[in-house]
Amino acid sequence: MSGKHSERANGDNQSAGRIVIETPTKQDGAALWRIARDSQKLDLNSSYAYLLWCVDFAETSVVARVDGEIVGFVIGYRRPTDPDAVLVWQVAVDASQRGRGLAGTLLDELFGRLVETGVRYLDTTITPDNEASIRLFSSFAKRWNATLDRSRLFEEGDFPDAHEPEDLFRIGPLAGAARPQ
């Protein structure tokens, strides 16, 4: 998938340029870390982790650029115990681009590519009170005409720090599903 990209019209005249969606590179790691940090909502991983995501998991991740600057990303990985599933680790959109559907567009673009490589399921974990993420992934399932199953993956007591439980959302099968246009 290296080098693949697509372009979308940006729905806001104040945000010049077109949205370009492409595979991340090592040079993108710092920007991903900054967007996650600035969201003040996501669990922030180390800057090193974002560099690794952009190198080792580039084929299961995408970034969005406007005028050459990264404004959003989806990072994921193939699950070792279930290679036909990709677990979406994080979705983030810069504050300047929120409310325009970019997160959904990024998911659609990524999984449109991944279905071609045999991926049948999108997995993600969401805390029970994260209504925005629940809406995002529920909408993805609806657009793809796929089933969404939800189960508890981690309890509060599983974490060594103060962390809410995490529910596993499994969406699929995606193969043969009508990809949204």
Tens digit of pLDDT for each residue in 64-88?
999 999 999 999 999 999 989 999 9
Give start and end residues of each alpha helix (H) in 87-171: 102-115, 131-143
Radius of gyration of the chain (CA): 16
Question: Which carries the bigger pLDDT value, residue 6 or residue 83?
Answer: 83
Characterize the bridge pairing of strands 121-126 and 166-172.
antiparallel
Q: What is the pLDDT of residue 77?
A: 96
Instruction: Give the confidence band of 2 by pLDDT, cuts at 50, 70, 90.
Output: very low
Q: Is the pLDDT of residue 6 over 70?
A: no
Place of tokens 């991340």: 24
Which phi and psi angles does 120 have, rounded to 5°? -115, -20
Instruction: Give the confidence band of 4 by pLDDT, cuts at 50, 70, 90.
Output: low
| Topology given in CATH for the domain delimited by 18-170 | Aminopeptidase (3.40.630)
Tens digit of pLDDT for each residue in 91-130?
999 998 988 899 999 999 999 999 999 999 999 999 999 9
The domain segmentation of the chain, as residue ranges, is: 18-170
Tens digit of pLDDT for each residue in 23-37?
999 999 999 999 999
Q: Is the pLDDT of residue 7 over 70?
A: no
Rounded to two decimals, the pTM is 0.87
Q: Is the pLDDT of residue 59 over 70?
A: yes
Q: 173 preceded by cis ω (within 30°)? A: yes
